[in-house]
Amino acid sequence: MATEADSPLGVLIDRQIAETGPVPLSLYMQLCLTHPAHGYYHRPHPIGRAGDFITAPEVSQIFGEAIGLFVALLSRQLPKGHFDLVELGPGRGTLMVDLLRSLHRAAPDIRAGGPTLVEISETMRSEQARRLADHGPVWLGHIDDLPESGPPLVIIANEFFDALPVRQYQKTETGWHERVVGLSGGQRAWGLNPTPLPESAMPEPLRHAAIDERFETRPAADALMALLAERIAGRGGVLVAIDYGYDRTQSGDTVQAIAGHAYADPLARPGEADLTAHVDFEALAAAAVPLHVHGLMTQASFLGQLGAAERAEALARSNPDLTGTIAADLARLTASDQMGQIFKVLCVSSQGISPYPFDIMSTSGQVAGTGHEGDRALAGSRPGSESARAPDRAGPERGSGDRQ
């Protein structure tokens, strides 16, 4: 039964559990994030200073601009430089605004149509419409709606895959049991599905795990990646996914809730906290068959190879009063103890494309002459205090998957 302080969605979930039994974590997470009336992503302003968490494009314009440069370089490898630009889960639209400005500056000859935005939330869509009014965006509710034919696709996804529901399993004396959300003494509580899965159903690295170890699978992320791969295989193109996570499948409980700039109990007040899990890049890449998988890079080396440090210097030269802020924001994006290492960049493409800076053998290939030098910084529009206060979603104990 719901307590007095419960959220409206909490009341509905408890009622469902009371009637039909405990729900798998994946269903709980899906309801919390995307319930049509009370889901988290339908709330106003979850991202940014007024929201619950901060993302890379909200930290600094350098992030979206680097991706714009990536797209400009990539477009040289696409027939006639023609492509459809797609973003998955664009949030406030900040990345796309910065990307388009930088793309047009680095490759003024490119005539890309309006970007396609895949966005589930009406609240987010209206913010994106406001920010991208000059660029003629079109929206899709689901990746399924992406046409099977057309020019090559260039698909960008920043902190999208971490927002998709995960399933969790826990090892016990009797095997692996799925973690569920049930009721205990009238309160929501974690439980285990009594029917065990055999050890053989688990991936190789999980065999012989210790009792109480947990393991997550991401069926929604894998299914979406498979669909995207099918579209890219048919039309040609590239997908770049930037997210926090690990490069090899491993055990651990990475589900976390953030509300009001602080880590929260995932079971408390459903629909009012952001729920995410780390991305398993090995599994995500495996789901991209038949595409070519280009190496996973850290966010630090991806941004570094695309000239982030030089861009920061140019911004600081033009905006001396913002020098400290610009340096702090760059550090937030690239330092190993901040977002630089835990955030990784996966690139998959159709055959015959070799996107810079993936697959390069040395780190000497810095991009020169990006066309960015000397313009006015937009850094002031992303207050330094914002990035200093709001947590990112990579978790309090970066680098370690296991929290309990």
Q: Is 118 in the site for ligand SAH (CB under 6 A)?
A: yes
- Pure H helices in 94-253: 94-106, 122-131, 219-235
| Residue 55 is a binding residue for ligand SAH (CB under 6 A) | yes
Using CA atoms, how far apart are residues 400 and 214, in angstroms rounded to an integer?
13
Pick one of 25, 47, 297, 312: the residue that binds ligand SAH (CB under 6 A).
47
Under rule CB under 6 A, residue 115 binds ligand SAH: no
* Listed ranges 50-58, 97-105, 210-218, 336-344: which one lies at the site for ligand SAH (CB under 6 A): 50-58
Least distance to ligand SAH, CB of residue 91, Å: 3
Q: Quick one: 95 or 314, whose CB is closer to ligand SAH?
A: 95
The 256-259 sheet, strands edge to edge: 262-264, 256-259, 274-276
Q: How far are the Cα atoms of 144, 257, 325, 382 from residue 394, in angstroms, in the given order?
A: 29, 11, 22, 20
Q: Does 256 bind ligand SAH (CB under 6 A)?
A: no
Q: Does 159 bind ligand SAH (CB under 6 A)?
A: yes
Work out which of 6, 14, 52, 119 binds ligand SAH, going by CB under 6 A: 119
**Binding piece for ligand SAH, criterion CB under 6 A, among 51-59, 203-211, 314-322, 333-341:** 51-59
Minimum distance of ligand SAH from residue 166's CB (angstroms): 13
Q: How far is the CB of 54 from ligand SAH (least distance, A)?
A: 8
CB of 159 to ligand SAH, least distance (A): 4
Query: Can residue 57 be called a binding residue for ligand SAH (CB under 6 A)?
Result: yes
Q: Is-contact 53 295, C-beta < 8 A?
A: no
Helix (H, G, I), strand (E, B) or coil at 62: helix
Q: Where does this chain bind ligand SAH (CB under 6 A)?
A: 34, 41, 47, 55, 57-58, 89-91, 95, 118-121, 124, 158-160, 163
